Amino acid sequence: MLDFITINEHSSIRVDEEKIVYCAPYNISGTPHDADIKATPHKTCAEYAPSE
């Protein structure tokens, strides 16, 4: 039913519908670099990577 939603770790969520959206990206396996949008509800060093 919601096959386009993936729960990664903690509250990290990936939505793959028309665009790929990561909410609170954390500990993503591999290095997909496929996000159209990254939404971080709070700024932490673990989630912030300006080079991506």
How far, in Å, CA of 33 to CA of 3, rounded? Answer: 20
Q: What is the DSSP letter of 12?
A: -
Residue range 8-50, pLDDT digits in tens: 877 788 889 999 998 887 777 776 788 898 887 766 555 555 5
Stronger pLDDT, 12 or 52, i.e. the higher one? 12
- Alpha carbon of 16 to those of 20, 29, 50: distances in Å? 5, 16, 22
